[in-house]
Amino acid sequence: MKLGVRMVDGVFLERPNRYLAQVEIEGRQVSAHVPDPGRLPGLMIPKRRVRLIHNPGAKRKTDYTLALVRHGRIWVSVYPVFANRLVKDALDRHALPGLSGYSAVSPEVKVGKSRFDFQLTFADGPMMVEVKSVSLVEDRVGKFPDAPTERGLRHVEELMELKRKGTRTAVVFVSQRSDTRTITSNDAIDPEFGKRLREAKQAGVELYGFNCKVTASTVSLDCPVEVVV
């Protein structure tokens, strides 16, 4: 998947708030939207190389969106919505390992109090799938979340309840970087989410994990990785 029509290089300077970064582009300082409101530890470090999508518009507060951060020898995507797009593309092609035999894919389906990313239609009923983007990796272990997530906790609880009522459910974790070998819950940041995720697995909620191949202009799903809870 291509990141944007026009990509520009920059240097990260600072992050005044969760949704805004100050970046130097060709000697001038500009503001850029940060699409991931998480803490992004280990990534948002001054003088790091970054790549941005240049997409000016009358209704936009900034002309740039931060897409990639250089981390050592690899690029890391900090655009959570890309995870959903990658999973959607794989599902449309019936190419997501672990999930097969469905006849239709429906995005953004509301069930109960939540809107889940995808509903897969099987002969014996629907399956609800929620996608989570993983940005924090330590010693090749992806950890979700990197900040407390009430929304993520609610999703896991509702998927677990749906499973108990007979509906097949799954969480797909996508680490948008290539150095991830396993994915786990980040109990140090959000112990309640980790507790619920373990309960969900025991209740039969399916857990899938993937890392990505990230270049200076593309992001693509790469290898399945184990979700260890």
Q: How confident is the model at residue 20 (pLDDT cuts 50, 70, 90)?
A: very high
81-91 pLDDT per residue, tens: 999 999 999 99
What is the CATH T-level fold of the domain 7-73, as seen in this structure? OB fold (Dihydrolipoamide Acetyltransferase, E2P) (2.40.50)
* CATH 3.40.1350.60 domain locations along the chain: 81-227
pLDDT at res. 136 = 93
> Tens of pLDDT along 32-76?
999 998 889 899 999 999 999 998 887 788 999 999 999 999 999
Rounded-to-integer distance, Cα 186 and Cα 73, Å: 25
CATH of domain 81-227: 3.40.1350.60
Contact status, residue 177 vs residue 74, Cβ threshold 8 Å: yes
